[in-house]
Structure 1
């Protein structure tokens, strides 16, 4: 079974924010593949089903971003999940709005949700899909990532979320190298 985790913050006030593109991508995957996100388990909202004939669990941690690892470590430990079977989707301020970056492994960079996951599971050797949200030109970073996209940015991010979902489907059916070649950039 593959576990696909989208990072975000729970609650209405965070819907549509830059920090929640991981949640939005999970919703897109669930809708496209008729997977009901209707269980609460592992400190997360989860849905189980099939994508490209492969059993998957879609996960939206409910721990708030900075504690995402507390949810992910429960799943990894319960299923004794190999790191190749864990995929994390999250926002990236170091990538321009709407661009995707798929990697096989790597550090958390500046992302606190990823820091939490790497700390809790004691590994950074898992695939990830980063969705570019841009960088604030000035002001507070926390306010920026918890803010909404501008009217001009919204079409780019909506398209990026669709492409991120497609990239996960490609990763599942054709492997990470093909997904990276097709969707990076």
Structure 2
């Protein structure tokens, strides 16, 4: 397996993976909270549980990937601010762990991609996503993104109403599969590097 190694020690240098969403049970199944869903699945793969961090986030420190030297240290986070101020907790975690921006991954919903489709990239605009706008304002644009397609709202439904609604019954039939695939994409990005992950998941 190829690795995204640096000249220092790629195992010792952690990644910050921030799943974006809104805190509170009333938002848990919303389309806007798919980043939290992916983070929860990654936490189960890391065999750990989230703990409250002073950066206004739920955080889990552990490893992703195979055991031994090919595994990667990961700080998995769910910001406990609301989506449109996600930049505060993400920046506080960046500062606390002293991470370069290229080691930060945001997992988020994306309106302009069909439901369940993934797109991985580094940098770029926020495309109207308030969580990304907040992070970019604090960090600049050069972090990685795992974009989970939720599709456009039907008819004249407003964007806010659409993303703050639960996935439909038809969507929920495949949601677990798509969340699992998004978690795989995060692992591939960290273990294999962006280009190889894109070649596999940007389909």
TM-score by length of 2: 0.87
Instruction: State the Cα distance separating 1:111 from its structure 2 match.
Output: 0.1
- 8 Å CA contact 1:97, 1:156 repeated in 2: no
Contact 1:97 1:157 in 2 (8 A): no
2:21 corresponds to which residue? 8
Could you list the runs of 5+ residues in structure 2 that have no partner in the other structure?
1-13, 66-70
Aligned partner of residue 153 in structure 1, secondary structure: helix
Q: For 2:119, which of 79, 101, 104 is the aligned residue?
A: 101
Computed over aligned residues only, the root mean square deviation of the Cα atoms, in angstroms, reads 1.1
* Unaligned runs of at least 5 residues, structure 1: none
1:129-155, Cα deviation, whole Å (9 max, x unpaired): 000011112212111100011111113
Which of residues 149, 156, 161 in structure 2 aligns to 1:132?
149
CA distance in 2, matches of 1:129, 1:160: 12
2:49 is the counterpart of 1:36:
yes
Q: Deviations over 1:76-115 (max 9, x none)?
A: 2223311111000000011011100100221111100000
Cα shift at 1:41: 2.8
TM-score by length of 1: 0.96
Structure 1 moving runs of 4+ over 6 Å: none
| Cα distance in 2, alignment partners of residues 46 and 119 from structure 1 | 22
Q: 1:160 aligns with which of 168, 178, 182?
A: 178
Q: For 1:21-170, what aligned pairs fall within 5 Å after superposition?
A: 21-52=34-65, 53-121=71-139, 123-137=140-154, 138-170=156-188
Q: What is the distance in 2 between the residues matched to 1:126 and 1:134?
A: 23
1:184 counterpart = 2:202: yes
Distance in 2 between residues matched to 1:77 and 1:39, nearest whole Å: 17
Q: How many pairs does the alignment contain?
A: 184
Q: CA deviation at 1:118?
A: 0.3
Contact 2:45–2:64 under 8 Å retained in 1 = no
